[in-house]
Amino acid sequence: MALVFSGCSQKQAPHYQATDITGADYARDFRLTDQTGKVRTLADFRGKVVAIFFGYTHCPDVCPTTLSDFAMAMKLLGKDAARVQVIFVTVDPQRDTRSVLAQYMPAFNPGFLGMYASPEETAVLAKSFKVFYQKQPPDARGNYTVDHSAGTYIYDTQGRLRLYMPYGEGPHAIAHDISLLLRN
């Protein structure tokens, strides 16, 4: 009988919508410049849940959809949104300059940060995050797209990598998982 009741008192593990990657040995940290010109690392956001997405501002679909989903999730979180930092890391630093990111990010949420590094630093960072990206050949007018991974990494308030949110999960799933991380 004691065994039956002892199982009831154990804390249930949270049920995330995203993939739980707690303990992963990659995507540990970053050193990037944000759209205000400030150099940031993951430690700067201790006490907040941090969501990091790699993309580019000229992206026709995945990037604006993901940022819109996170913006809607922040609304669903209400006052808890103040304890969340969404970070967009460009994989196209040639076009996504500080001024471009400063105009792009507030269109989704004034608290979202756009971050960049040199092309060489971006390549090293993307590899450490297991993020794929590849610039496509430009068209006759010089326009090009960049193929890239489409998921978001989410860290808990202690700066530990916890979740990988696949593209297209939607704002309710994002808000659900962030709420769980804020409570634990």
Tens of pLDDT, residue by residue over 55-104, are 999 999 999 999 999 999 999 999 999 999 999 999 999 999 999 999 99
Under the banding of pLDDT at 50, 70 and 90, the label for residue 10 is low
Token pair in block for residue 31: 């050193």
Does 1 reside within a domain? no
| 11 lies in some domain | no
Residue with tokens 């959809």: 65
Residue 24 lies in a domain: no
* Apex 40 CA angle, 42 and 45, nearest 5: 40
In a domain? residue 152: yes
What sections of the chain are H helices per DSSP? 2-8, 62-77, 98-104, 119-128, 171-183
Prediction pTM value: 0.91
- Determine contact, residues 165/149, Cβ cutoff 8 Å: no
Q: Using alpha carbons only, what angle is made at residue 57 by residues 69 and 115, rounded to the nearest 5 degrees? A: 85
In whole angstroms, give the CA distance from residue 149 to residue 73: 21
**Residue ranges of the binding site for Cu cation:** 59, 63, 148
Tell whether 121 is covered by a domain: yes
Residue 4 lies in a domain: no
Which residue positions form the known binding site? 59, 63, 148
Residue 152 burial (CB count, 10 A):
25
Instruction: Report the CATH number that the domain containing residue 169 is assigned in CATH.
Output: 3.40.30.10
Name the residue range of residue 172's domain.
31-183
Q: Does residue 25 belong to any structural domain of this protein?
A: no
Q: Is residue 19, in this structure, part of any structural domain at all?
A: no
How many separate domains does the chain show? 1
Distance CA 182, CA 184 (A): 6
pLDDT digits (tens, 9 = 90+) for 117-131: 999 999 999 999 999
Could you tell me the pLDDT band of residue 147, with boundaries at 50, 70 and 90? very high
Q: How many CA atoms lie within 13 A of 99 on its CB side?
A: 0
